């Protein structure tokens, strides 16, 4: 199980990579492992849309369950990973790289302070195991 | 599957667990004097007497075997070859349910797969589900699909006023509380152009009927283009039997085609059970409600059938599902499958042609009567509207004396269509029956 230290996390298993004022997000290795084989993915937003923190940005469905992916912080969508709809299994094989879902302009950097670092997120995952 | 009832010992254990002695103790909360009220029932009679009584009751009904029927309006009297009933009554098939362990019932799944393939052929669409309850709920599911496709960001649905009034009512019931705006059917004057004019960036779906509730046939290509331009989906409600003759709605760019499957081998039976046909394009399949049977190969490489997308709703998507209606009309879908295979690609167009020509003969004859005229002059299929000199209910009451079941009184759904009768003619109506109707109408007008 990977918990890259250069990312920040939500307790709902999204990760966010911050580069300047642009954020990139997807779901974590732990999340894809819990869901198992992902068979369907739909990005529920489009370039130019403004989403608030906690709004749905995508829906994933595995052979076991369906889950929503939420915005870790508020942002204006600048890019959408169109490829994922055709290759949802990339979420299983490369959750932190190839399976990024959207990129967005971060509206309020202060919101980043509420997110978890890798250590805190790993602890959060371990707690749920029990 | 064996049905094993509780034993006396089981009951004693269960009662002891909840601290009761007798079963009657469960009903203590109900006052004794209302627990066993005297029911005003007749004395018991023998099976032979009961059958006599029930037969007398059933003979008091007016049914299409004993009158000439010109009533349609969504449910049509067609000939059903006896092989349809024979097949669906086979022990292996005779249930309304898809089995709970579906893959063990390969025959049932294969029948549904054949049904889906036949319906796709007929509508020209790419995907058919295993069916819904009836045409009305299928239309309501089309609305839900369109809303879901737009992720709830579009809240307007445009309905043609020439869609069956009951279908529109079911859509309203189905979607109440969802905050939708349903427009278009407030005035009969809203034709294709007006409906196209209502499409905007908030419109999720526009729905029309083909042939429409009044029997008219229209080309919806322009509406399809307008819908695409506005980013809205186009739903066409069809009479599947008419598709034996008409070009398929896929030619109009329809995104969803739904319809009442009753004309395809299902008896009138007082309004149901009927069959909800639902077809769409492959790109919407993830938003489609209901079951979908697919063909695959098993571990030994042999052909087999599986439920392809159902588990999403019941076991995986649960509260996130587009719709939780998974039930299909398995037995009625089977009837339609058998009917379509018996009629074949030559038989179905032949039935549709017979309906068309007989209806046009009847329309010409009625239009030639002094006090009657046709309400519209465009192309129609097997149903048409007649302007009558008297209230439709009065005419129908008199037609019964001639053993004729008259047409549908449109005034009950459309106030502006008072004294307008919707007349349906199918392949079962002989020329003599049509001529009898004409002479009866002539006599009735002059009394």
Say whether both B436 and B298 belong to one domain: no
Dihedral angle computed from the Cα positions of residues B129, B133, B137 and B139, in that order, rounded to the nearest 10 degrees: 40
* pLDDT at residue number B199: 97
Domain boundary among B322, B338, B354: B338
Distance CA B252, CA B248 (A): 8
Domain annotation covers residue B202: yes
Q: Please, what is the average pLDDT of chain B?
A: 92
Does A77 or B312 have the greater pLDDT score?
A77
Dihedral angle computed from the Cα positions of residues B436, B439, B445 and B447, in that order, rounded to the nearest 10 degrees: -90
Domain annotation covers residue B206: yes
Tokens 């990139």, located at residue: A24
Question: Any residues with CB less than 8 A from the CB of B42 and at least 6 apart, and which?
Answer: none
Which of the four pLDDT bands, split at 50, 70 and 90, describes residue B1?
Answer: very low
Say whether both B301 and B379 belong to one domain: no
A85 touches chain B (CB under 8 A): no
Nearest Cα of chain B lies from the Cα of A122 at a distance, in angstroms, of 27
Closest chain A CA to residue B321: A66
Distance CA B272, CA B261 (A): 11
Say whether both B334 and B364 belong to one domain: no
Residues 316-335 of chain B with CB under 8 A from chain A are 316-318, 320
- pTM value is 0.86
Say whether both B358 and B277 belong to one domain: no
Neighbours of B356 (CB within 10 A): 22
Task: List the single residue in B151, B286, B316 with the smallest CB-CB distance to A44.
Answer: B151
Interface with A, mutate which of B320, B321, B322, B324 (most A CBs under 10 A): B320
Say whether both B351 and B279 belong to one domain: no
Question: How many angstroms separate the Cα of B447 from the Cα of each of B309, B386, B394, B423, B441?
Answer: 62, 19, 12, 22, 11
Asked whether residue B268 carries a pLDDT value surpassing 50, the answer given is yes
Asked whether residue B397 carries a pLDDT value surpassing 60, the answer given is yes
Residues of chain B neighbouring A65 (CB-CB closer than 8 A): 316
Domain annotation covers residue B56: no
Distance CA B123, CA B277 (A): 10
Do B363 and B374 form a contact (C-beta atoms < 8 A)?
A: yes
Residues of chain A neighbouring B318 (CB-CB closer than 8 A): 66
Domain boundary among B338, B357, B385: B338
Residues of chain B neighbouring A48 (CB-CB closer than 8 A): none
CB-based contact A66 B312, cutoff 8 Å = yes
Asked whether residue B312 carries a pLDDT value surpassing 80, the answer given is no
Say whether both B224 and B359 belong to one domain: no
Domain annotation covers residue B42: no
Asked whether residue B307 carries a pLDDT value surpassing 80, the answer given is yes
CB-based contact A68 B320, cutoff 8 Å = yes
Say whether both B94 and B199 belong to one domain: yes
Task: List the single residue in B151, B286, B318 with the smallest CB-CB distance to A40.
Answer: B286
Structural domain of residue B357, as residue ranges?
Answer: 68-80+344-445
Could you tell me the CATH number of the domain that includes residue B380? 3.90.1150.10
Task: List the single residue in A44, A61, A63 with the smallest CB-CB distance to B317.
Answer: A61
Residue B29 Rama label (left phi>0; alpha psi -120 to 50; beta): alpha
Nearest Cα of chain B lies from the Cα of A106 at a distance, in angstroms, of 23
Q: Per mean pLDDT, which range of B38-42, B170-174, B185-189, B273-277 is the poorest?
A: B38-42
pLDDT per residue as tens digits for the range B83-134: 999 999 998 888 766 666 778 889 999 999 999 999 999 999 999 999 999 9
Distance CA B26, CA A46 (A): 60
Domain annotation covers residue B61: no
Domain annotation covers residue B409: yes
A44 touches chain B (CB under 8 A): yes
Q: What is the mean pLDDT of residues B2-31?
A: 89
Asked whether residue A105 carries a pLDDT value surpassing 90, the answer given is yes
* pLDDT at residue number A128: 87
Percentage with pLDDT > 90 across chain A: 87
Say whether both B176 and B219 belong to one domain: yes
Task: List the single residue in A42, A44, A61 with the smallest CB-CB distance to B316.
Answer: A61
Domain annotation covers residue B198: yes
Interface predicted TM-score of the whole assembly (ipTM), two decimals: 0.71
Say whether both B76 and B196 belong to one domain: no
Do B314 and B292 form a contact (C-beta atoms < 8 A)?
A: no
Say whether both B373 and B263 belong to one domain: no
* Domain count for chain B: 2
Domain boundary among B281, B309, B338: B338
Q: What is the mean pLDDT of residues B239-250?
A: 96
A76 touches chain B (CB under 8 A): no
Instruction: Catalogue all structural domains in chain A, each as residue range(s) with its CATH number.
Output: 8-112 (2.40.50.100)
CB-based contact B312 A61, cutoff 8 Å = yes
* pLDDT at residue number B100: 67
Say whether both B219 and B332 belong to one domain: yes
Say whether both B229 and B349 belong to one domain: no
pLDDT per residue as tens digits for the range A43-83: 999 999 999 999 999 999 888 888 999 999 999 999 999 99
Could you tell me the CATH number of the domain that includes residue B115? 3.40.640.10
Residues of chain A neighbouring B316 (CB-CB closer than 8 A): 61-66
Asked whether residue A33 carries a pLDDT value surpassing 80, the answer given is yes
Distance CA B354, CA B350 (A): 6
Which of the four pLDDT bands, split at 50, 70 and 90, describes residue B395?
Answer: very high
Q: In what order do the strands lie in the sheet with B383-387?
A: B373-374, B383-387, B420-424, B408-409
Question: How many angstroms separate the Cα of B122 from the Cα of each of B125, B215, B244, B258, B387?
Answer: 8, 19, 7, 12, 33
Q: Which two tokens stand for residue A79?
A: 């890019």
Percentage with pLDDT > 90 across chain B: 79
Which of the four pLDDT bands, split at 50, 70 and 90, describes residue B406?
Answer: very high
Task: Report CA torsion sign: B149, B152, B153, B158.
Answer: positive
Residue B100 Rama label (left phi>0; alpha psi -120 to 50; beta): alpha
pLDDT per residue as tens digits for the range B120-176: 999 999 999 999 999 999 999 999 999 989 988 899 999 999 999 999 999 999 999
Which of the four pLDDT bands, split at 50, 70 and 90, describes residue B287?
Answer: confident
* pLDDT at residue number A83: 93
């Amino acid at each position: 199980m990977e918990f890259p230290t250069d990312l920040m996390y939500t307790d709902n298993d999204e990760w966010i990579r911050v580069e300047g004022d642009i954020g990139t997000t997807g779901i974590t290795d732990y999340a894809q492992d819990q869901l198992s084989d992902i068979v369907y993915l739909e990005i529920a937003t489009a370039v130019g849309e403004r989403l608030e923190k906690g709004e749905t940005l995508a829906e994933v469905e595995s052979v076991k369950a369906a889950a929503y992916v939420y915005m870790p912080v508020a942002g204006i969508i600048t890019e959408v990973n169109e490829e994922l709809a055709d290759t949802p299994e990339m979420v299983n094989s490369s959750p932190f790289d190839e399976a990024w879902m959207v990129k967005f302009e971060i509206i309020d950097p202060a919101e980043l302070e509420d997110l978890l670092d890798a250590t805190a997120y790993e602890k959060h995952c371990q707690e749920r195991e029990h | 599957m064996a049905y094993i009832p509780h034993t006396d010992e089981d009951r004693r254990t269960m009662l002891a667990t909840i601290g009761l002695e007798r079963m009657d103790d469960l009903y203590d909360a109900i006052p004794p004097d209302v627990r066993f009220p005297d029911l005003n029932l007749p004395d018991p009679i023998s099976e032979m007497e009961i059958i006599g009584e029930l037969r007398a009751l059933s003979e008091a009904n007016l049914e299409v075997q004993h009158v000439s029927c010109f009533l349609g309006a969504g449910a049509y009297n067609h000939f059903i070859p006896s092989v349809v009933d024979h097949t669906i009554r086979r022990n292996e098939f005779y249930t309304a349910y898809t089995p709970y362990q579906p893959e063990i019932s390969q025959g049932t799944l294969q029948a549904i797969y054949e049904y889906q393939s036949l319906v796709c052929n007929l509508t020209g669409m790419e995907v058919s589900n295993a069916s819904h309850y009836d045409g009305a709920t299928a239309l309501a599911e089309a609305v839900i699909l369109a809303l879901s496709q737009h992720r709830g960001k579009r809240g307007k649905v445009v309905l043609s006023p020439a869609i069956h009034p009951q279908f529109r009512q079911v859509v309203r019931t189905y979607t109440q509380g969802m905050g939708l705006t349903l427009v278009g059917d407030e005035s009969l004057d809203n034709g294709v152009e007006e409906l196209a004019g209502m499409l905007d960036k908030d419109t999720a779906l526009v729905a029309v009927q083909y042939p429409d509730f009044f029997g008219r046939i229209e080309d919806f290509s322009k509406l399809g283009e307008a819908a695409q331009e506005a980013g809205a989906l186009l739903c066409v409600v069809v009479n599947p039997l008419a598709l034996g003759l008409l070009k398929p709605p896929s030619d109009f760019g329809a995104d969803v085609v739904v319809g009442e499957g009753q004309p395809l081998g299902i008896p009138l039976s007082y309004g149901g059970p009927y069959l909800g046909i639902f077809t769409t394009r492959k790109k919407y399949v993830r938003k489609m409600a209901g079951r979908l049977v697919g063909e695959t190969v098993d571990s030994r490489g042999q052909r087999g059938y599986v439920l392809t997308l159902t588990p999403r709703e019941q076991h995986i998507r649960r509260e996130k599902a587009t719709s939780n209606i998974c039930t299909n009309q398995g037995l009625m879908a089977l009837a339609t499958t058998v009917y379509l295979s018996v009629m074949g690609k030559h038989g179905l167009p032949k039935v549709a042609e017979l309906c068309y020509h007989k209806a046009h003969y009847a329309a010409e004859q009625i239009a030639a009567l002094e006090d009657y005229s046709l309400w519209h002059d465009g192309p129609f299929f097997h149903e048409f509207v007649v302007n009558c000199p008297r209230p439709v209910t009065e005419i129908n009451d008199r037609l019964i004396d001639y053993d004729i079941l008259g047409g549908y009184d449109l005034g009950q759904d459309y106030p502006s269509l008072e004294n307008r009768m919707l007349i349906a003619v199918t392949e079962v109506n002989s020329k003599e029956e049509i001529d009898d109707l004409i002479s009866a109408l002539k006599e009735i007008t002059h009394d």
